[in-house]
Amino acid sequence: MTTVAYLEGLNDAQREAVVTIQGPLLVLAGAGSGKTRVITHRIVHLIHEGVAPNHILAVTFTNKAATEMRERVVALIAQHQSSARAGIETQPTVTTFHALGVRILREHHETMDLRRHFTIYDRADSIRAIKQGLEKAGYNPKQFEPRKILSTISRAKGDAQSRIDFLSEASSYPARVTAEVWEHYERIMREEHALDFDDLLLKTLNLIRDYPVIREVLQKRFRYIHVDEYQDTNRVQFEIVRQLTGEARNLCVVGDVDQNIYSWRGADIANVLQFEKQFPGAKTVFLEENYRSTKTIIAASNTVIAKNKARIPKTVFTENDTGEKITLHVAGSGAEEADYVVSTCAELIANGASPSDIAILYRTNFQSRVLEEAFLSYEIPYQLLGTKFFERKEVKDVLAFLRLSLNPESTADLGRIINEPARGIGKVTLLKILEGKRGELTGATAEKVERFETMMRDITDCARTKPVSETLKFIIARTGIEVELKKNGLEEDLERLENLRELVSLATRYDGVDAEASVEALIENAALQSDQDELQSKEERNAVRLMTVHAAKGLEFPYVFITGLEEGLFPHERLDDAGIDREEERRLFYVALTRAEKKVFLTFATVRTIFGSQRINVPSSFLNDIDAEHLETTERFPRSSASGFERTIFLD
Task: Indicate which residues carry an active-site annotation.
Answer: 35-36, 228-229, 259, 595
- CA–CA separation, 218 and 245 (whole Å): 9
Residues near 9 by Cβ (< 8 Å), separated by ≥ 6? Answer: none
| One-character DSSP codes across 412-423 | HHHHHHTTSS--
**Rounded Cα distance, 325 and 344, in Å:** 15
In the 3-class helix/strand/coil scheme, how is 522-550 assigned residue by residue? HHHHHHCCCCHHHCCCCCCCCCEEEEEHH
Give CA–CA dist 261/591, Å, rounded. Answer: 9
Which sign does the torsion angle of CA 189, 194, 198, 199 carry?
A: positive
One-character DSSP codes across 145-202: -HHHHHHHHHHHHHTT--HHHHHHH--SHHHHHHHHHHHHHHHHHHHTTEE-TTHHHH
Cβ contact 232:262 at 8 Å? yes
What residue type is assigned to position 485 of the chain? L
Residue 71 and residue 64 in contact, taking contact as beta carbons nearer than 8 Å: no
Beta strands in 23-62 (DSSP E): 25-29, 56-60
Between helix 468-478 and helix 491-507 the angle, nearest 10°, is 150
Strand partners, 640: 646
Provide the CB-side half-sphere exposure for 488 (13 A, CA): 9
Candidates 633, 609, 607; CA nearest to 618 is 607
Contact 107, 93 (CB under 8 A): no
| Rounded Cα distance, 341 and 544, in Å | 11
Which residue, 362, 344, 340, 341, is CA-closest to 353? 344
- With b meaning 16 or more CB within 10 Å and e meaning fewer, what string describes 170-197? beeeeeebbbbbbebbbebbeebbbbbb
- The answer to whether residues 404 and 456 touch, using CB atoms and an 8 Å cutoff, is yes
Residues with Cβ within 8 Å of 212's Cβ and at least 6 positions away in sequence, in order, are none
DSSP annotation of 443 reads: H
Q: Which residues contact 304 (CB under 8 A, 6 or more apart)?
A: 586, 589, 590, 593, 622, 625, 626
Is 168 exposed, middle or buried (CB count within 10 Å of its CB: 0-12, 13-18, 19+)? Answer: exposed
Assess contact for 338 and 601: CB atoms under 8 A. no
Query: Cα–Cα–Cα angle for 457, 463, 467, nearest 5°?
Result: 150
Helix 582-593, helix 295-305: angle, nearest 10? 180
